[in-house]
Amino acid sequence: MSATRPRIVVLSGSGISAESGLPTFRDANGLWRDHDWRQLASPEGWRRHPELLLEFYNERRAAAAQAQPNAAHRALAMLEANYDVHIVTQNVDDLHERGGSTQVLHLHGELAWARGTSPRRLRTHLGATPIRIGDVCADGTQLRPDIVWFGEAVDQLEPAAERVAQANKVLVVGTSLTVYPAASLVDFAPPHAERVVCALELEREPAGYRWLRGPATQEIPPLVERWLRETG
Ligand code: BV8
């Protein structure tokens, strides 16, 4: 009965999947270090060279399908024994779900899904299947990754903010908090909520958050154990 259990909201980014072998964006070996995100994650890039974009996401989809959830993903799923846990992720991989979390909201879309390019945006499940030019959805329009690119609206922002605003604990893990409006979610935490951030580096330290400055697979399991002990 989630109505009586305390709520934990986890705001995650690519750093939680780093130890599963998936690259982050801004770290030394991050994706944006040797790709221009304006070309590879934007409607302009899609217009100018769709095949390049499809290849970029096909490679990432295949890598994500090969990757395994790590100890941090699995620890977060354990919290569901005593808490109403909502994962709000910027990640497009499905490692939270495969790690056992059951309430996952993807702010920026999912690699395993594609959608049509008409206003109907018909979705189709891909799994690890690549998208090619000429692949169309049910309404006959070209398939594209079901991903929110730069300059595109984050439709899930409002439900995400509502979850954070009703949290008893907010855990931010593996995000540099540089991309908006996702980064603004940290400020929706209620003043009485326990707030923790786990990252190696931060562009900005969110106010009122305790910083666990270490790898997620080392920092998250002990935090989860403590939170589970709190509820007996
Ligand atoms: C929108 C797609 C409007 C999927 C992504 C100027 C100033 C401010 C904002 C803007 C601006 N100009 C434009 C904007 C808005 C823009 C934006 O924020 N730009 C940035 C670059 C400044 N935002 C947008 O365009 C958004 N849309 O605003 O729309 C609108 C409204 C109505 C109608 C139409 C339009 C859309 C943004 C979504 C972009 N899509 N991803 C994909 O390809 O993956 S962004 C991508 O980067 C991720 O999804 C994520 O959100 C983002 C940040 O990445 P992180 O996950 O934080 O990764 P990063 O590498 O940065 O950091 C890793 C962290 O992990 C570090 O802290 C590191 O220390 C830590 N770490 C590493 N290893 C570990 C670890 N931690 C623990 N353990 C470890 N082992």
pLDDT at 227 over 50: yes
Q: Is residue 31 within 6 Å of ligand 1 at its C-beta?
A: no
What is the best residue among 52, 150, 197 to mutate for testing ligand 1's pocket, by most ligand atoms within 8 Å of CB?
Answer: 150
DSSP track, 15-62: HHHHTTT---SSSTT-HHHHS-HHHHSSHHHHHH-HHHHHHHHHHHHH
Does residue 86 have an active-site annotation?
no
Q: CB burial class (10 A; 0-12, 13-18, 19+) of residue 187?
A: exposed
Q: Give the integer Cα–Cα distance in Å for 81 and 228.
A: 8
pLDDT at 2 over 80: no
Tokens of 209: 């958050």
How many C-beta atoms lie closer than 10 Å to residue 130's C-beta? 14
DSSP track, 56-123: HHHHHHHHHHH----HHHHHHHHGGGTSEEEEEE---S-HHHHTT-S-EEETTEEEEEEE-SSTT--E
Nearest atom, ligand 1, residue 216 CA: 78
Mean pLDDT of the chain: 95
Beta strand pairing call for 104-106 and 194-198: unpaired
Q: Per-residue pLDDT averaged across 211-224, rounded?
A: 98
Tell me how far the alpha carbon of residue 175 lies from the centroid of ligand 1, in angstroms: 8
Q: Is residue 10 within 6 Å of ligand 1 at its C-beta?
A: no
Q: What pLDDT is stored for residue 1 in this prediction? A: 46
Nearest atom, ligand 1, residue 31 CA: 60
Over the stretch 35-74, which tens digit does the pLDDT of each residue have? 788 788 999 999 999 999 999 999 999 999 999 999 999 9
In DSSP terms, 144 is beta-bridged to 115
Q: Per-residue pLDDT averaged across 69-82, rounded?
A: 98
Q: Give the integer Cα–Cα distance in Å for 217 and 19.
A: 7
Q: Is residue 212 within 6 Å of ligand 1 at its C-beta?
A: no
Q: Per-residue pLDDT averaged across 113-136, rounded?
A: 96
Q: Is residue 178 within 6 Å of ligand 1 at its C-beta?
A: yes
pLDDT at 3 over 60: no
Helix/strand/coil for 213: coil
Q: Which of 69-78, 82-91, 201-210, 223-232 has the lowest mean pLDDT?
A: 201-210
Tokens of 72: 């941090």
Sheet holding 109-115, edge to edge: 123-125, 109-115, 144-147
Tokens of 40: 């590879």
Is-cis flag, bond preceding 181, omega within 30? yes
Over the stretch 137-186, which tens digit does the pLDDT of each residue have? 999 999 999 999 999 999 999 999 999 999 999 999 999 999 999 999 99
Tell me how far the alpha carbon of residue 142 lies from the centroid of ligand 1, in angstroms: 26
208: left (phi over 0), alpha (psi -120 to 50) or beta: left
Q: Give the integer Cα–Cα distance in Å for 168 and 230.
A: 13
Tell me how far the alpha carbon of residue 1 lies from the centroid of ligand 1, in angstroms: 34
Nearest atom, ligand 1, residue 41 CA: 43
Q: Is residue 201 within 6 Å of ligand 1 at its C-beta?
A: yes
Q: What pLDDT is stored for residue 232 in this prediction? A: 78
